[in-house]
Chains A and B, each alone.
Chain A
Amino acid sequence: KNQVEQSPQSLIILEGKNCTLQCNYTVSPFSNLRWYKQDTGRGPVSLTIMTFSENTKSNGRYTATLDADTKQSSLHITASQLSDSASYICVVSGGSNSGYALNFGKGTSLLVTP
């Protein structure tokens, strides 16, 4: 069973609009949570990383939030651009007992249209 669930599976928005992607996880214990951006046909690139003690992290127009109590994270994209079209992957790292094993979500595919 996948321990990281992302929603929605896909999303289409108009350029300039905001959007929010969701990530729910059951990984326990939990070390940290990363959001990656993956352009089509390319490797993922890290956007943000948060530990259990951090509840928000920004990287330009990307803002990630984390609620470790409810095991939920979100990635908010502000004033979207065409270049934001990509797949966004939530990755949750387990604790030391799992060797900090990475658990990958299936990703949310975002399309920004003119």
Chain B
Amino acid sequence: DGGITQSPKYLFRKEGQNVTLSCEQNLNHDAMYWYRQDPGQGLRLIYYSQIVNDFQKGDIAEGYSVSREKKESFPLTVTSAQKNPTAFYLCASSIRHGTSGRNEQFFGPGTRLTVL
């Protein structure tokens, strides 16, 4: 999966609990992204980070939070404020963000989160 790891692969949580999804990359990429994938829908951008200590909201950031303290790590926290958190979460990285449309995003294997 292109040097990007996500853990765990499957995650279960009870309603009202926060949970953190891990994403690590060893590609030396500056930009990292979090997407949510639901059945029958295209990928939707939650947050992205262009560089360490910087991150921007995507299209569906409500109920999520992120941090980028290290270049290789971009964890996503799904908070209790996210009303429908059950989904497949994908992390991606690219060399740069927005400097060229040809910059490929490499995706991790994904984490499937289920709220019980």
Residues of A bordering B, CB below 8 Å: 2, 4, 9, 31-32, 34, 41-46, 49, 51, 89, 93-96, 99-100, 102, 104-107
- Smallest CB-CB A-B distances: 8 pairs: A31-B101, A43-B107, A104-B42, A93-B101, A99-B98, A100-B101, A104-B43, A106-B42
Min Cβ gap B67→A in Å is 21
Min Cβ gap B105→A in Å is 7
Chain A positions within 8 Å of B29 at CB level: none
CB atoms of B40 and A43 under 8 A apart = no
Task: For the complex, give the distance between the alpha carbons of A41 and B1 in Å.
Answer: 12
Nearest residue (CB) in B for A9 is B40
Count, chain B residues at interface, CB 8 A: 26
CB atoms of A42 and B98 under 8 A apart = no
Indicate if B53 sits at the interface (CB-CB under 8 A): no
CB atoms of B100 and A100 under 8 A apart = yes
Chain A positions within 8 Å of B44 at CB level: 104
Chain B positions within 8 Å of A43 at CB level: 1, 4, 90, 92, 107-110
CB atoms of B109 and A100 under 8 A apart = no
Indicate if B70 sits at the interface (CB-CB under 8 A): no
Question: What are some 13 contacts across the A-B interface (CB < 8 A)?
Answer: A31-B101, A41-B88, A41-B109, A43-B4, A44-B43, A44-B107, A45-B2, A49-B102, A51-B101, A95-B101, A100-B98, A104-B42, A107-B42
Task: For the complex, give the distance between the alpha carbons of A26 and B97 in Å.
Answer: 22
